[in-house]
Amino acid sequence: MTISLFSSAQAEPVAVSPENLAVSIKNLCRDLQTGILEIAPDQDSRHYLLFVRGQPLNLYRQQNGAPERLDPETWLQKPGQPATLRALSLTPHAIRLVKILLEQTTHSIIPCQSFSLEEQVENWVQNPVPAVLHLRWQTAEALIMLPGQGKPVHYTLFLSSDQILHSAGGMMALYGWKEPCASLRLLSSEAATPAWQEYLLYYSFSWLVSHLLERLRQLAGPLRLNTMLREVNFTANARQWNIEMLKTSVTDQAIFSHPAQSAEVYSRLLEILFQHAEQLIGAELLASLLRETVLRMPAPSRSVLQEYLLITPA
């Protein structure tokens, strides 16, 4: 039997006919849902269809514990079959973590013994590379993004029978949960799955832009920087990329089906950003700032920038 993803969350399974399966998926698209639709044709297999703002993004088939990526468009065109459905609404950032969880087959299993979760997390954040902690209790479950290199927890998703909590690093719900740990897995980014590559691209793009904007604000002044940001954000908004550059940070709610798509969008926005930055401070100083920023990045971030965006510290 294949165990449901986030089985502790309050999401009642609904039995549907092949025709109603297609209707249910169309309704999610129409309602611009972001989340997961679990499709269980039998006890031994599960399909997980991920939606972002009503668009089917990725499809995974899980059978005998081994996940497989499928093309959602091709699968949706096939005749349906009777199935049981469970739907969960999530944030775009939670979808990033769910994709890592669904794709990863290699992980470290950590014995659930008498330990302080808080103390253990303090140790795990010192890992040299990013990782996701997957924690299960009897009636709850959590995903925790650990950026590594001593940086604080970046994001947590906590699910139980009566709540789904999303937090930018908040851990109080996890530390206060009054149940013994049932299982604990550490999913390292060293696995280099497509989902990890997508996450590292997102993280690296945000790091690069945030640090560059802060230095541009210092060198060119806030007024000239605001003019540049309006141009970049206009391009992103016109293409419905759901990415906004602020004065010294980035709000990135864009989720893609593959790292190559992420790289295409990020490359276009960086091209516009670099063009305007060069007009503000000159090509030589911009190149120096880029070298300075990239060299401060963690090694995994530098690697994906070089592989997908062709940005190097040289």
Write down the residue that tokens 């989902």 correspond to: 195
Structure confidence by residue, pLDDT tens digits, 54-105: 899 999 998 776 688 999 988 888 877 788 888 888 999 999 999 999 998 8
Buried b / exposed e across 90-101, counting CB within 10 Å, b at 16+?
Answer: bbbbbbbbbbbb
d(Cα 98, Cα 50) in Å, to the nearest integer? Answer: 9
Q: Is the pLDDT of residue 1 over 50?
A: no
pLDDT in tens, 154-171: 899 998 888 888 888 678
Q: Which of 47, 46, 74 lies closest to 59 in space, CA to CA?
A: 47
- H or E stretch at 26: helix 18-30
Instruction: Tell me if the pTM is above 0.85.
Output: yes
* CA gap 196, 293 in Å, rounded: 22
